[in-house]
Chains A and B, each alone.
Chain A
Amino acid sequence: MSRAEQSAEVLIRAEGVGKSFGDGPATLSVVRELDLSIAEREVVLVFGPSGSGKSTLLSILGGLDRAFTGRLSLFGRDVTTLSDTELSVLRGAQIGFVFQAFHLLPHLSVLDNVTAPLWFAREHSPPAQAEARGREVLAQVGLADRAASRTAELSGGQRQRVAIARALLRRPRLLLCDEPTGNLDRATGEQIIDLFASVHQESDTTLVIVTHEERLARLATRTYHMVEGRLGEEPAA
Chain B
Amino acid sequence: MRLRALAAMVGVDLRRTRGPLFTAGFGIAVGVAALAFFLSLGLGARKVLLGDVFPIDQVELEPQKTSAGLLSLLGGPHEPAGVDAPTVEHLRRLPGVAEVYPKLRFRFPSMAKGGKELLGREIGTHEMVGDGIEPELVAPEVPASAFLDPLPAATKPCAKSADCDAAQYCELPSGQTAGRCSAPVPAIVSRYLVELFDHAIAPAHGLPPVAETLVGRAQGVVFDMTLGNSLLGVARQGTERKVKVVVVGISPKAIDLGVTLPVDVVRRWNREYAGDAAADKFSSVVVKVNSAADTSHVLSEAATLNLMPKDTRARDVSVLITAVLSLLLLVAGVILLVAALNISHTFRVLVAERAHEIGLYRALGASSSDMRRWLTALALVVGAGAGAVGALIARLAALVADWRAAADLPDFPFKPESFFVFPPWLWALSVGFAALFALAGAALPARRAARTDPSVVLGRDR
Contact = CB atoms under 8 A, between A and B. Distances in A.
- Asked if chains A and B come from one complex, the reply is yes
Interface string A149-169: 000000000000000001000
B362 A65 contact: no
Nearest to B6: A119
Nearest to A97: B363
Interface residues of A, number: 35
Given A103-B360, A118-B5, A119-B9, A55 B365 contact: no
Contacts of B9: 119
| Chain B contact patch, size range | 20 to 34
Nearest to A126: B4
B455 A59 contact: yes
A87 B461 CA distance: 24
A91 interface: yes
B457 to A, nearest CB: 10
Contacts of B360: 103, 105
A89 B5 CA distance: 15
Given A116-B364, A120-B1, A55 B462 contact: yes
B458 A120 contact: no
B363 A119 contact: no
Given A119-B5, A119-B9, A103 B365 contact: no
A86 to B, nearest CB: 9
Contacts of B461: 99-101, 103
Nearest to B362: A64
A227 to B, nearest CB: 18
Interface in A75-120: 84-85, 87-89, 91-93, 97, 99-101, 103, 105, 107-108, 116-120
A91 B16 contact: no
Interface string B330-372: 0000000000000000000000000011011111111111100
A121 interface: yes
B2 interface: yes
A108 B12 contact: yes
Given A85-B367, A103-B356, A120 B455 contact: no
Given A100-B462, A101-B461, A107-B16, A91 B455 contact: no
B69 interface: no
Contacts of A59: 454-455, 458-459
Contacts of B453: 65
Nearest to A170: B365
B2 to A, nearest CB: 6
Contacts of A99: 458, 461-462
Interface in A39-83: 55-56, 59-60, 62, 64-65
A3 interface: no
Nearest to B368: A84
Contact of A64 (B1, B15, B367, B458): B458
A213 interface: no
A179 B459 CA distance: 12
Interface of A: 55-56, 59-60, 62, 64-65, 84-85, 87-89, 91-93, 97, 99-101, 103, 105, 107-108, 116-122, 124, 166, 170, 178-179
30 contacts: A56-B459, A62-B363, A85-B369, A88-B362, A88-B365, A88-B366, A88-B367, A91-B363, A92-B364, A93-B365, A99-B458, A101-B462, A103-B356, A103-B357, A103-B359, A103-B360, A103-B458, A105-B360, A108-B12, A117-B364, A119-B5, A119-B361, A119-B366, A120-B1, A120-B5, A120-B361, A120-B366, A120-B370, A166-B364, A178-B462
Q: Sort A-B residue pairs by CB-CB distance and give the 4 closest, nearest first.
A: A92-B365, A59-B455, A65-B455, A88-B367
